[in-house]
Chains A and B, each alone.
Chain A
């Protein structure tokens, strides 16, 4: 399991580098897709199946379509033979160095928990049903599998009903915005 974590992390870092290094914008975008898929694999390893699938469905599927359309609309060409801006390069290197130092200081001062057991699962395998979940969900928890879609649905629709409506209004506004902007007649 740990091997898979490092495998998918390596995949993500490699394709993340591909996004930055590649001169062709379409290649960059497709590298970003692979990076998203690697992230989804990491989520699935953490038993967050719902988030993993949403990651593929929404990010790798829908958001990347938008990226590709922007590339096609703006008619971006591969950057060829561009002069390297040494000042920007030096600035970027300094910024990277600062981040590495920060990461190192966090990692050295951070006490990692016990990796062997996941803390949220044992307390959920009680015989009574505190969350009011279905038989199926309880069976899954008894098998030490996280019924994450049930939990997300239950929490979302018992506690967060109002924010859900706000999300709907937000989506309505974005629909109106995109229709207004792209259907505007040029006069």
Chain B
């Protein structure tokens, strides 16, 4: 049973190892650049001089897209077991499952239409 998960463990190790090795290499290779000085920290030639915060506030548009993503993500959560069990529904003639999903997707399609009509997915406003 546990050996089934061995590939996942290997993948975790590769992912973690990749991150660690990348960081390590950048530290080793960047050793010469670590002797900082006033001149080295300045912007190069005609580059902009850094002014202000390094973390600017983000537009609420990003949040809107994320929120809509979550809503349609939850739709997938219900679609997935429906798709897996669909053969059983067809075989046993449980047509209520089909119409139930039709209603579910239909109502969420209304939500999608609303968002589309309100221009929630349009970026430039």
Contacts and interface: CB of A to CB of B under 8 A. Distances in A.
26 contacts: A54-B77, A57-B73, A62-B70, A62-B74, A65-B66, A66-B70, A72-B62, A73-B62, A75-B55, A75-B57, A134-B85, A153-B81, A153-B82, A153-B84, A156-B81, A157-B82, A157-B100, A165-B104, A165-B107, A168-B107, A171-B75, A175-B68, A175-B111, A175-B115, A178-B67, A182-B63
Interface stretch (B13-21, B37-45, B87-95): B87-95
Given A62-B74, A157-B96, A171-B71, 16 more contacts: A65-B70, A66-B66, A72-B57, A73-B62, A73-B63, A75-B55, A153-B88, A154-B85, A156-B82, A158-B94, A161-B100, A167-B104, A171-B74, A176-B114, A179-B120, A182-B120
A183 B110 CA distance: 18
B108 A172 contact: yes
Contacts of B103: 164-165, 168
Contacts of B63: 66, 69-70, 73, 182
B69 to A, nearest CB: 6
A150 B88 contact: yes
Interface residues of A, number: 44
Interface of A: 1, 4, 50, 54, 57-58, 61-63, 65-66, 69-70, 72-73, 75, 77, 132-134, 137, 149-150, 152-154, 156-158, 161, 164-165, 167-169, 171-172, 174-176, 178-179, 182-183
- Label chain A's interface by main secondary structure: helix
Nearest to A156: B81
Taking residues whose C-beta sits less than 8 angstroms from the other chain, chain B's interface range is 35 or more
Interface of B: 1-2, 53, 55, 57-58, 60-64, 66-71, 73-78, 80-89, 91-92, 94, 96-97, 100-101, 103-104, 106-108, 110-112, 114-115, 118-120
